[in-house]
A = this chain, B = another copy of it.
Amino acid sequence: MDVPPAAHAEVLVVGGGVVGLSVAWRAAQRGYAVTVADPSPGSGATHAAAGMLAPVSELTYTEEPLLRLGLSSLVRWPAFAAELAGESGIGVDHRTDGTLDVAFGPDDLAALGEVAGLMEKLSLPVERLTGRECRRVEPMLAPSVRGGVLAPGDAWVDPRRVTSALLAALSHRGVTMVAARVRGFAVEGDAVRGVRLADGRLITADQVVLAAGAWSGTLEGLPPEALPPVRPVKGQIMRLRGAPGFLGRCVRGTVHGSGAYLVPRGDGEIVLGATQEEMGFDTRVTAGALWELLRDARELVPGVTELEVAGVVAGLRPGTPDNLPLIGRTALPGLLLATGHHRGGVLLAPLTADVVAAEIAGDRSPAGGTDDPPVASICSPLRFGGPPRPGTGHFPWTKEERGPSPGRTPGPAAPEAR
């Protein structure tokens, strides 16, 4: 009951969010024939992302490896954004005015001071501000703000513009977009040879990059232990229409124990974010989430109540057990991962794309400068154990795909020399 192969790609990317599209772009730039499969590119977590590139202000005690990844990707963003704008003609509203994290009560201020101490210990460029200094920097802040920490190196982009720009750049480079859902992997022996679409069509590929975000663990065809351990972490945001200059930079604060933020776009839009909910694959916008977002935003910047509501949306972030992404080759020949970025997909897309594209090409030289973190070890898809050993895995697709030989070399996919 084989369906004839509908198409073949050198590189097939499953998932058209900011990570998958960035990987596709970098692979296409290296000359590969790339296909991206996604029923609705850019409509997942990326669509509900605020776009903060804020590794410094998002630092927490236990997540220094994530900080290192974030800083490494942050320095790539200016060139990434400029190159993308050049190829696509679409600017991504890349802004570099920093993030201001503020505190209300004395406890909040003490906690913020602790984090600022850690930042200073790590030689991160931050400035401690009094409440008055905070309001001088951001006059719309609540009078009750007691102090803050400015991270001047943090930046942000508009993720929806990034998606649009990436899609335009991919189109210019002749990347094939398949607007269909991927049901599972096509496996031959122990190697991934392509994917099966929900409508039954087969796309064969030399190398498959799984970048399906929160859905990365739901595809058929692999034994459960070979699937990446990602889970959906629901986030809801609200977009408001403000006047340009309403806020000059990203404003964050801990309100009632939940981290709230306001991200200003160049056109005056303000994004309020974001809930973090363990609700499974639930993308309903709920009354309670909107209430929390509005309650927290009002405390930080009371003037938001006058702004028009432009929209509300929920997305599903791909969370992992250690909050670090899964990037690189798996134990299965032909399958790479670029998923599990949780809240950091937009920030980490340039780094992820560089690393994965180099891996695809078998380019073992450092992807960036000498300050690069050891992505291969920090983000290894093998770190949670459990990849199937050759010959022991149960691959439901194996028999189905074994019929007609697609005419490819069996065995581990060799990096192609270009």
Tier of interface size on chain A = 20 to 34
In the complex, which residues 250-302 of chain A have their Cβ closer than 8 Å to any Cβ of chain B? 284-288, 290-291, 294-295, 297-298
Partner of A288, one of B287, B290, B291, B305: B305
Partner of A294, one of B284, B285, B294, B307: B294
Is A312 interfacial (CB-CB < 8 Å)? yes
Hey, what's the 0/1 contact readout for A16-35 against B, CB within 8 Å counting as 1? 00000000000000000000
Identify the closest chain B residue to A312 (Cβ).
B309
Is A186 interfacial (CB-CB < 8 Å)? no
Is A305 within 8 A of B285, CB to CB? no
Which residues on the B side are within 8 Å of A285 (C-beta)?
A: 308-309
Is B312 within 8 A of A286, CB to CB? no
Which residues on the B side are within 8 Å of A240 (C-beta)?
A: 287
Interface residues of A: mostly helix, strand, loop or mixed? helix
Count of this chain's copies in the oligomeric assembly? 2
Is B304 within 8 A of A298, CB to CB? no
Is A222 interfacial (CB-CB < 8 Å)? no
Partner of A307, one of B286, B298, B305, B306: B286
Identify the closest chain B residue to A308 (Cβ).
B284
Which residues on the B side are within 8 Å of A309 (C-beta)?
A: 284-287, 290, 312
Which residues on the B side are within 8 Å of A308 (C-beta)?
A: 284-287
Residues of A near any B CB (own CB < 8 A): 238, 240, 284-288, 290-291, 294-295, 297-298, 304-309, 312
Can you give 8 contacting A-B residue pairs, CB < 8 Å?
A238-B287, A284-B308, A287-B304, A287-B307, A288-B298, A291-B294, A291-B298, A309-B312
